[in-house]
Each structure stands twice: as structure tokens, then as C-alpha cells.
Amino acid sequence: QALDQAQPDMVVNAAAFNFVDQAGEDPRAFAVNATGPRHLALACEERGCALVHVSTDYVFGSDADRHVPYAETDPPGPLSAYGASKLEGEGFVRSLCRRHCVVRTCGLYGKTSERGKGNFVQTMLLLAGEGRKLRVVGRGGDRLQRGCKLPARGQAHRRLVAQIIAACAGGV
């Protein structure tokens, strides 16, 4: 109904159940990360609008010996329910909406309205302040990762969306 009223040329899906450690036990993970994008892809395809779907690098990880960044063409191999749910959502977007773009991102941080969620830096400071032992390791062993403050990532996404809008004349 909202899409019918707005009649957008493009929809950006940035919704995610991103409580990574809880995704295996919480059915909301697949509902939000897989079923939600499925419904959105169907709705966008029906209305002829493009869909930009924000996903995650958690769709990778099964190659424990890897020491180079992943490329879009590398085969996924999620190690967690969270990664599997996001990969399933990507699959629905790709198969159900012809005009689509999947953006895989990682290491986001910024302000959040929910204590202890949404900001890796604040969470680490909170845990350290409580005297907890911190162990932070990338999936499949240590890996180099640089975080990106959400406003900066937002600027990059806006540039990407502008490029996608320009490409949407003939499809994405």
C-alpha cells in the first residue's frame, strides 16, 4: 500500500535483524532478513521500480584460509544463521526483481536509540568499562576490517543510489 501511494522509481531496503549472535534462535532473523526482502522484491517487480538491497559481508566466511578481500563474484559461504538469512534475502531479491542492486557492507557504527546495539565502538567501550574480557576476532580468523561511521557510509550509498537511478532507465 505504501509503495502504491508513493509510486517510487526505486526502493532502498536497509532493514535488518542484526543481532548476529541471536539470529540462530530468533525467528525474526529470517523473517526480516529473508522473507521481508522477498516480499519487497515481489512488490517492486510488480510496480516496475528498482530495489537496492543492503546486505552484509557475513554472507562470506567459509574460506578460513583467505587473506584477500572478497569480490562480488566470489562464492558465498555463511558461517552463521545471520549470514544465511541475509544470503537468502539476497537470493530472493536477485531472482524476483529484475531491476535490483545488492550492496554488501560491513563495520557500520553510529548513533543508536537502543542501548548496546548498533554501535560496535560504543559496545566495546561499554563492555570494557564493565571489566569484561574482550575477544574480537573476524570470522575464519583475524582479518583486517575498517569501520565506517554511518554518515560517511550514507554519503557513499547516496552516490551509489544516484548511479543506480541513472542506470535504471534501461534496468539495473
* Residues across the chain: 172
Q: Which residue's entry shows cell 574460506?
A: 63
Q: Which of 58, 70, 82, 109 is labelled catalytic?
A: 82
d(CA 102, CA 94): 8
Q: Which residues contact 98 (CB under 8 A, 6 or more apart)?
A: 45, 171, 172
φ, ψ of residue 66 to 5 degrees: the values are -70, 135
- Concatenating the DSSP letter of every residue in 5-24 gives HH--SEEEE------GGGTT
φ, ψ of residue 116 to 5 degrees: the values are 80, 10
Sign, CA dihedral 65-66-72-74, equals negative
Catalytic site residue 82?
Answer: yes
Name the grid cell of 20: 548476529
Q: Which residues belong to the active site?
A: 82
